[in-house]
Amino acid sequence: MKKIAILASGSGSNAEKILEYLKDSTKAHVTVIGSNKKDAFVLERAKKFNVPTFTFTRSDLESGLLTEKLLSLDIDLVVLAGFLLKIPKDFIRAFPEKIVNIHPALLPKYGGKGMYGMHVHEAVKAAGEKETGITIHLVNENYDEGKVIFQAGVGVLETDSAEDIANKVHELEHKYFPNVIESLL
């Protein structure tokens, strides 16, 4: 059985879809969910699935404490599901090709520092894009620049608000992310 750790900073709707998708899997299970925010709703969602959770600080991430914890749990894949802190080099070296992130746009467009959550959808709207989408990629030392594993697009209407765009993108994420994760194991 492969072991997955999910790191998330916010609502955790993607984390929940992954938990649902894998709950009866014989191939992989979510061993733990970690958040850098004590009040992140993802921690509530995890309770429904009886998955252990923990919180950590930016300093735990940067000092290597988080890496040690995940190594001690024998984690096979680290899934970033709306995780907003930069992953340090030592963490990446400890889990080579084993950290996967989801980004709410068609990278390389709308990636990089400051491009997360609603900021991305507002930028897509402001630029008058006709299409946006999702990118699932491996994590390397630069924000949003690791090897792309999967992309899917969706049309943007002139009348769509940034919230409408966010909803369309979330739908795509929920549809594809769990499956792509499973295929990586």
Which helix H or strand E contains 101, and what residues bound it? Answer: strand 99-103
> 89 to 148, contacts with ligand GAR by CB under 6 A?
102-104, 116-117, 120
Check whether 12 is labelled as a binding-site residue. yes
Q: Name the DSSP class of 81.
A: S
Beta bridge partners of 79: 6, 100
Please confirm, yes or no, whether 121 is among the known catalytic residues.
Answer: no
Q: Does 173 bind ligand GAR (CB under 6 A)?
A: yes
Q: Does 82 bind ligand GAR (CB under 6 A)?
A: yes
Give the shortest CB-26-to-ligand GAR separation in angstroms.
25
Give the shortest CB-8-to-ligand GAR separation in angstroms.
6
Q: Which is nearer to ligand GAR, 75 or 81 (CB)?
A: 81
Q: Which is nearer to ligand GAR, 1 or 49 (CB)?
A: 49
Rounded (10°) angle between helices 41-48 and 13-22: 20
Q: Which is nearer to ligand GAR, 67 or 82 (CB)?
A: 82
Give the C-alpha separation, 76 to 130, whole Å: 38
Check whether 142 is labelled as a binding-site residue. no
Which among 29, 103, 170, 174 is annotated as catalytic?
103
| CB-based contact 169:134 (threshold 8 Å) | yes
Check whether 93 is labelled as a binding-site residue. no
Q: Which is nearer to ligand GAR, 169 or 184 (CB)?
A: 169
DSSP secondary structure string for all residues of 109-146? TT-STT--HHHHHHHHHHTT-SEEEEEEEE--SSTT-S
Using CB under 6 A, pick the residue from 4, 30, 81, 87 that binds ligand GAR: 81
Compute and round to an integer the Cα radius of gyration of the chain: 16
Give the shortest CB-72-to-ligand GAR separation in angstroms.
26
Phi, psi for residue 43 in degrees, rounded to 5 = -70, -35
Three-state SS at 17: helix
Residues that bind ligand GAR (CB under 6 A): 8, 10-14, 81-82, 102-104, 116-117, 120, 169-170, 173
